[in-house]
Structure 1
Amino acid sequence: MQPQTAEIERAIMGLDRRDKLHLIEVLAHALQRDQTAPPPAARKAQLDGLLLELDALPSESADDGFSNRDHDVLLYGRRP
């Protein structure tokens, strides 16, 4: 056990029942929040970038004489 964990356990033992329940509630809320997710402004910027990339894609199939099936064979190496 890490020294910090032992110290936390000693502190918890000193709490009364109501404070322990409050601590459980605080910890549960902290676990529900995704701490690794970027902030909303960063997510919006990422989404805006993706939408710009999508807008830059051609909306029609290429005029190269190949069918969609031909493209699949070239991309995936097998016939569907």
Structure 2
Amino acid sequence: MLKEKSWEEFKESGMLWWINTILHAFGWAIVYETDETGNIIRAYPARCKFRGFSENTNTEGYQKISKYMLDNAEELFKEVNE
């Protein structure tokens, strides 16, 4: 089963931060561009010199990922046990 999601939902869930945290170890990142209203209009992989995020960004990222897991734990558990 696949269910398409928006880049905004991916970002707000903390998943974009999490994946970029991993990608930074290899000098890569997923980059997004927004329009004048803040909607994500384009996303692409890119090489980067970044090797991590600030403490505040990491704290926010862990909070978002933790909330996502809390809010979706039952569904995730059911999916892997079907």
- Verify same fold: TM over 0.5: no
Higher relative contact order (CA 8 A, sep 6+): 2
* TM-score for the superposition, normalised by structure 1: 0.31
Q: Which has the larger radius of gyration?
A: 1
Structure richer in strand, relative to its length:
2
